[in-house]
Amino acid sequence: MYSEKVMDHFQNPRNVGEIQDASGTGTVGNAKCGDIMRIYLDIDDDQIIRDVKFKTFGCGAAVATSSMATELVKGKSVQEAMQVTNKAVMEALDGLPPVKVHCSLLAEEAIHAALWDYAQKNHIQIEGLKPPKSDISEGEEEEEY
Ligand code: FES
């Protein structure tokens, strides 16, 4: 059911932990399944993501997608990090079962929330970045579970 990459990132998640005095942190949850993810970003003066850590209280797919998402944004500029969508994360993991697609949204939204926090603190604008939602299941009524 899960690809080898998903299993690998679930069993050996990369970048687990937290960053003290992070440049930006973002926490999002999905009220439908109760899963929560927090992302910490360490961003330098050139707007490059030097380090990233995450904590996920959630299902295996949420852990695997957070792990892969952190790998994808590390070393990137904040603008490049905007391209790390849930689709990009799923592709990098060789796919997820359809019922687990929403789990990958948690990773994308948590990164966006952390970028938003960073942008607010530094009074900058990141193109395409929208204010974060704390519950990503809002407005998802049409999706079937
Ligand atoms: Fe909720 Fe996976 S079941 S994030």
Report the mean per-residue pLDDT for the chain: 92
Check if 33 is active-site. yes
Whole-Å CA distances, 77 to 42, 58, 72: 11, 28, 11
Identify whether 103 is a catalytic site residue. yes
For ligand 1, atom 4, the nearest C-alpha belongs to 103
Give DSSP secondary structure letters for 44-63: -TTSBEEEEEEEEES-HHHH
For position 23, what pLDDT does the model report?
98
Amino acid 141 reads E
Confidence of residue 5 (pLDDT cuts 50, 70, 90): very high
pLDDT at 139: 59
Residue 143 has pLDDT above 70, yes or no: no
Condensed to tens digits (0 to 9), the pLDDT of residues 43-64 reads: 999 999 999 999 999 999 999 9
CA 105 to ligand 1 center in whole angstroms = 9
Residue 41 has pLDDT above 50, yes or no: yes
The answer to whether the beta carbons of residues 43 and 50 sit under 8 Å apart is yes
**From 33, 38, 55, 144, mutation site for ligand 1 pocket: most ligand atoms within 8 A of C-beta:** 33
pLDDT tens-digit series, residues 6-35 = 999 999 999 999 999 999 999 999 999 999
pLDDT at 142: 45
pLDDT in tens, 102-118: 899 999 999 999 999 99
Instruction: For residue 94, report the distance from its CA to the centre of ligand 1, in Å.
Output: 18
Atom index in ligand 1 nearest the CA of residue 34 equals: 1
SS3 state of residue 34: coil
- pTM score > 0.85 for this model? yes
Residue indicated by tokens 């957070």: 66
Element (H, E) at 39: strand 35-43
